[in-house]
Structure 1
């Protein structure tokens, strides 16, 4: 396991971060606890949660269950200090959480207090905004994202207010560091600029989708990351399981994500399966498990702090952990780039 800096926090994290979004839905309590223990044994020291988890589906009656399961493990084992813990406040428009209310200092206070209680901890190491109030091109909204409809001054005032709140929490010791998620290059740069103007906490990480099938960050955020010392936390590095190859040929394995979400959150398209075939061919020619290849590629990008590795079953986690130690040679990287050029952004 390799370790690297988490932004400019001074914290050192494992190259893979344990994703937990199925804990309490597809993954039951005992299996979730076994995964946390197994990941720790493998050298992972960083986990990511969110107040709205679990997903598939997100529902009012299960909001917060993932954090509760993690907190139960901390209470049972006494190993809270073995982990760097990240969680998130839900963004505007998710009706299962606070009836879709926007992120404000008031909703942040409510969300943070609830997360601390569920996680059975006194402090969140990395507190993230799940998506911005103003909207985002994430979640397959790149076709409808309309930044020209935004109110710049309202956005900047919101950022100023949230950063002031974050500064208060850092002083109180309830939050150590601050991250964004599903954020744009302009948004991230503006958060940084206002923080530097006001002496409030600077964003340390951005958690965005990033995989062999979705390399949006290469075109904009990568430059910001390397110049400003902000780390990318890629989510869906296996593209919701597409890069495993398990959905090729029309297959829908029982209990899989596709079995409960037929479009994989909008990722299924006529162009995606030929792209997956091309990546599977590269893996075969290089003698690699395609899961290991995709995960190792995402974790070794120069601007990545840690790649989020999620599994709904113990077997999936064990297979994913095989990516530790896999090398992405220059020759392999060139082959993967060639596939990307032939099959750019298939969803």
Structure 2
């Protein structure tokens, strides 16, 4: 795994820890684009007690997108503080501590439409205060849908889940997330690190410079982490649409930005943009060979570094990074080496040459 891959994976963990408590018990699914998606249990193992075929919804209707407030506020913390009892919390702690599975099991997978409906309902649960009429049953019984907590297994009906059942599922997962989040002690920056406010300012400046982006109407999440054996401090800043699950499930076009900042130097070491309408277009082998001899990609990368990033140091070398993983992602990556040994990597979408990410690696200082 190269440096970019490690940073990307840790970025997912950092942002996830801001959004909710990450554990193997939750249904967070980390996708290859390094963004967090809320999915049904994908670690699906058929239960021997009840095996049913995967289903397809008779109706493809997804709950209607309804965003009334410009900047909606989560209702979860207040709700949990009022409703969770000591017995509820201890039950979840026991479940987490005594569970040995890599993730919950289920008798079938959720269909794509069920997942889409669940994501919309999750935002309505979070921001609009919509709750299930009843709690999810946590033991076997005469129920259409339940979770056997002793077997760590969800039992779905053959038919599609109703909105009430999806809300019961969401409610249970949010209770787990809220309860386990109490065990997480957030890292605090050192005295020599830049402040959160400074990190946010640098992130906004980077987005404005590289992408002409305006984040004033996007929701922001900020996380501080220490990486690697040297425990190097970094700030992660994510900007995405409010009520993101609803926006994404509705098929609307949206933009997300994430920026990684060295907390000691204040340097932006990774600035990325995701545009939902830009579909992944793998680069065929034949085209990849042609790009080797196409100087326009290198010219574009130099322009980004010099004119958009505003780099004043001289460029001494520029070359394409040959890697199948980039071809599969539809990315052309150009390495730009500066006079002092520092480097940039400009990742551009094929075939439009649209900047996807600019990564910065400062020169290694000799001790």
TM-score normalised according to structure 1 size: 0.25
Decide which structure has greater strand share. 2
Choose 1 or 2 for highest CA Rg: 2
Decide which structure has greater helix share. 1
Q: Which has the higher contact order (CA 8 A, sep 6+)?
A: 1
TM-score normalised according to structure 2 size: 0.24
